[in-house]
Amino acid sequence: MKTSGGAHVISLLHDDALVVRVSDPLLAMTNAWLPSHVERMISPAAPVRAVIDVVDVHELPASADESSESPLVLFAGVRARATDDERISLRGSSAVRGEIVLGETRARIAVPRIEVTSEPTTDVRTHPHSAAGELYSMLTLSAAFLIGRLGSALVHAGAVVDPDGRAWLLAGDTHAGKTTTCVSLVDAGWSFLADDQVVLRHDDAGEIIAEGWPRHAHLDEGWSSAVVTGSRGAVDMRARWGERWMRRAPLGGVLFPSVAADQPTHVAELHAATSFSGLLRQSPWLIADRGAAASVMALLQCAAERPAFALSLGRDSYARGDVLAARLAPAVSGRRG
């Protein structure tokens, strides 16, 4: 749908609490970030509570030099700095500029038209400091801060759903094995929410619900042949395993994958404090907003109190979802032996 002003209005959450409004010339650049399940809104089922506006502008006004100021968060080359208690500026090396107004739960990202026309399809993976790459990072930061103000948490994590319908976060740094674990388990019959970004929220009954933001997964090109090539390609998980995608599921626990190729795949139980520290690491934006930090940390602490395990990935389970599922079965079923 387009509004009368020519903007596409796109809902990011199941209850339409957060939307992105994108001016028409920027839709191609924004599509690289938008989760694959998003819907253009026609009439929201519930009042919109937070908005990210992505607009094209002829030129940007001159801004104060911020080079000497320490950022609250540095994310993929984008610096997030507090201009006052309720405003955060977003700056990178390109001409794209962003501002988040926390108290009004809104953000605005402005892209000069010269950037819109020069690189609408730049691959953000290979050009993270381009206008397209920095738009991608600013969208992530804007969504993360606004979701925090909604009392929820955006976590850098994947999520799979076990045969009993419970979501398991796959939390870890880049190249920890989140995508490989997700794809392998889905290939073995599990369901999935997403492979890289998940929103945690409380439902009306107080249950923690994981809601996935699926995008194309970036997987080693040799995975289907159980070969490690070191070269990654994009996999559309929803196109390949669409019947196994779920939008939301109650949280069952947390898995922290890591790769130890020369060791057998094994699972080790983690203390809640270790799980909490790991979840905080994958939610770096929450500590930058004092107005939301307490409630978001409480949510992550509740998540960390669910069963948590370190998942060490050996070569024996690479592209062998059946082996991986068998190793995980005692943990996810509540057995410890």
Q: What is the predicted pLDDT for the residue at 66?
A: 57
Q: What is the pLDDT of residue 4?
A: 38
184, 319 Cβ separation under 8 angstroms: yes
What pTM, to 2 d.p., does this model score? 0.90
DSSP assignment of 107-157, as one string? Answer: EEEEEEHHHHHH-TT--TTT-TTSHHHHHHHHHHHHHHHHHHHTT-EEEEE
Residue 337 domain flag: no
In a domain, 28, yes or no: yes
Same domain, 131 and 203: no
List the CATH number of the domain containing 182.
Answer: 3.40.50.300
Both 63 and 198 in one domain: the answer is: no
Judgement on whether residues 170 and 245 belong to the same structural domain of the protein:
yes
Cβ-contact 262, 315 below 8 angstroms: yes
Same domain, 175 and 273: yes
Mark the ranges of the chain whose per-residue pLDDT is less than 70. Answer: 1-6, 42-46, 59-70, 117-129, 335-337
Residues 245-288: tens digit of each pLDDT: 999 999 999 999 999 999 999 999 999 999 999 999 999 998 88
How far is it, in rounded angstroms, from Cα 86 to Cα 105? 10
Asked whether residue 1 is assigned to any structural domain, the reply reads no
Regarding whether 230 and 311 lie in a shared domain, the answer is yes
Last residue of a domain, one of 99, 129, 149: 149
262 burial via Cβ count (<10 Å: 0-12, 13-18, 19+)? exposed
Show the domain range for 72.
7-149
What is the torsional sign of CA 16, 17, 21, 27?
negative
Whether residues 268 and 300 fall in one domain: yes
71 C-beta neighbours (distance < 10 Å), count = 17
Q: Say whether both 168 and 66 belong to one domain.
A: no
Amino acid at 30: T
Residues contacting 199, CB < 8 A, separation 6+: 13, 147, 152, 153, 154, 155, 210, 211, 212, 213
Q: Which of 104, 133, 149 is the last residue of a domain?
A: 149
Write down the pLDDT at residue 333.
87
What is residue 211's DSSP assignment?
E
2 in a structural domain:
no
Report the SS3 class of residue 294: helix
Position 141 in a domain: yes
- 259 belongs to a structural domain: yes
One domain, residues 126 and 168: no
SS3 47: coil
**104 and 50 in a common domain:** yes
Q: Which of 149, 177, 203 is the last residue of a domain?
A: 149
143 with 192, same domain: the answer is: no
Q: For residue 272, tell me if it sits in a domain.
A: yes
Q: Are residues 87 and 174 in the same domain?
A: no
Question: What is the model's pLDDT at position 251?
Answer: 98
Examine residue 244 and state whether it is found in any structural domain, yes or no. yes
pLDDT for the residue numbered 336: 44
- Dist CA 192 CA 14 (whole Å): 16
Q: What are phi and psi of 86, to 5 degrees?
A: -120, 5
Rounded to whole angstroms, how far apart are CA atoms 272 and 242?
33
CB 286 within 8 A of CB 296: yes
Hey, how many other C-beta atoms are within 10 angstroms of the C-beta on 143?
Answer: 24
Residues 106 and 158 in one domain: no
Q: Are 181 and 169 in contact (CB under 8 A)?
A: no
For 290-313, how does the pLDDT look when each residue is reduced to its tens digit (9 = 90+)? Answer: 899 999 999 999 999 999 999 999
Write down the residue that tokens 């949510």 correspond to. 299
Total number of domains constituting the chain: 2
